[in-house]
Structure 1
Amino acid sequence: MTIDILDSEHEQVLFCHDEASGLRAIIAIHSTALGPALGGTRFHPYVDTAAAVDDVLNLSRGMTYKAALAGLDLGGGKAVILGDPHTGKSEALLRAYGRFVESLGGRYVTACDVGTTSFDMDVIARECSHVTGRTVAHGGAGDSSVLTAYGVFQGMRAAAEATWGTTSLQGRRVGVVGVGKVGRHLVGHLVSDGADVVVTDVWQPALERVRDEFPSVAVVASAAAMLDESLDVYAPCALGGALDDEVVDRLTAEVVCGAANNQLAHPGIEKALEGRGILYAPDYCVNAGGLIQVADEFEGFSFERAQQQASGIFDTTRAVFEAARSDSVPPAVAADRLAERRIREIGRLRSVWLPH
């Protein structure tokens, strides 16, 4: 196994191992040009270490662009814990992980992600002061999936405006792949707006919960079956790499807008989407609501203030589409250019952020 960490553009990658608790984790700091690197901790049963490294490097890079495009004074980082969160999570493991985060002195600030919760952040915070997304009882913002879903919905409204001339999803058929924490909240926004929603998920309890909460929602057996549906909007809300060549070839939707990170399976997919006339709302643009929510904790959390800022995702997404049209490039390229411009223009004079 060869992992070319030193060939990456990341500032720092930390491998963490605690024998007593069984912790195996990786923390990746992509950039601190705009401030400390904030990004969630993903707890996932990766097939091997190489897969975990690949994921954490891609996710942390995405966080840099997400924070920059959202107008936050934060850099990009991410962490992954290798293992099954349903069977491998323990207080000892989380506290050991917290000590590794603390050792970075504030260069990396952690939060929730797939496989971790606000309650886990409370445990990590017993060993570490660089934690956001804590429970409301401990002064935190609580579940960041609330504003993540809200932001995706705002991005979808902007995509609807660009495609059909209206910001409403009423009467549009929207396929949501993955109805976990974020997907379930997104379904709620769509149903309230009058959309015709169809969902799928690999975890049956998630589907049952959505079906109980929203009886009008239709269910299909799998992500592959979703591609056979006649859709207006395709919303990937599970893990990354959802948009590969086969998916793009089979999509019936005119818009792709979802909560999953790193949706494009490889470079060039954005051009394939454009070639088929499908408008892609860049993932890190529309799913920044959760980052906005946990970042607000730095000022003493106010849900109203964070929601107001997350509402701006509509205007940011609209600006991405306008830049794409103006420059004759796919929206994914336009989003990257806008983020990179802010990093260049607003980035601090020092290339590496160090705690004061």
Structure 2
Amino acid sequence: MSQEIEHVKCLIIGSGPAGYTAAIYAARADLKPVMYTGIVPGGQLTQTTDVENFPGYPDGILGPQMMEDFKKQAERFGTQVRFGYITSVDFSGDVHRIVVDGEKTITAETVVIATGATAKWLGLDSEQKYNGFGVSACAVCDGFFFRGQDVAIVGAGDTAAEEASYLAKLANKVHMLVRRDEFRASKAMQHRVLSTPNIEIHYNTEAREILGDGQNVTAVAVSNNQTGEEKQLPITGFFVAIGHKPNTELFEGILDMDANGYLITKPDSTQTNIAGVFACGDVQDHVYRQAVTAAGTGCMAALEAERYLAAKAHVMI
């Protein structure tokens, strides 16, 4: 018995601010979008607590609730939101073929990729225990909550240096934990960190355990990887800045990526190297990584998908 193949105008892979915004715009353009949420519906924001920097929420909002609001708005205009995981794609033809959960095949005239990125973590159990309760992978998102407090940040690259500098404007003191005896950051970023008086750099230092009272972070236990010396640093915020990994494994060898695996889109566009395939949000943004910028590119992707289909229809007439 042959498997029935579903055909759609616009398939959105992944949810979160980018995917849901693309869905809202695509649905309003009558593209009748179908979205597969992936294994974490709502993306990284579902793993955060208060979101206070997204326009339209003057009192702030919980990340999971915000994503539920986005989902309801997308569904209101007719988006079909489905829980499922894309297991393979074939973008070689004029119409794209996508397999869901290894079983169902969908053909799509346009595809919007919004699979996001995943923060790299140290792998500590306590890191996940206090994630959202003092532990964060985004200083720009959560630094405000630690105004006037002592915090720690792990990392030695440009991102870590930039986030440490950002935190220093808000926090009383920033402990920067650097695993080696030197930075990996550029000379300019190193100079910025080294010239900031309330950043204390701990070289050859690794976090061993994040300590807390069961509800919030109270300290971090660290050790010197040369001397073996162990100590505790009293803090209320612990930031991990060792990088993000874009969720692009599915597209390896098919779509153009940079050295770190982020999808490459054309300048001022969400268009990938494959016609009719667009990428938005953190999967193609390694610079800003904010909910509001992800939503913006989600809008762009839907508008470009609409224009692509309109141009295609005009050529066929």
If the length of structure 1 is used for normalisation, what is the TM-score? 0.30
Q: Which has the higher strand share?
A: 2
Q: Which has the larger radius of gyration?
A: 2
**Larger relative CO (CA 8 A, sep 6+): 1 or 2?**
2
Q: Which has the higher helix share?
A: 1
If the length of structure 2 is used for normalisation, what is the TM-score? 0.33
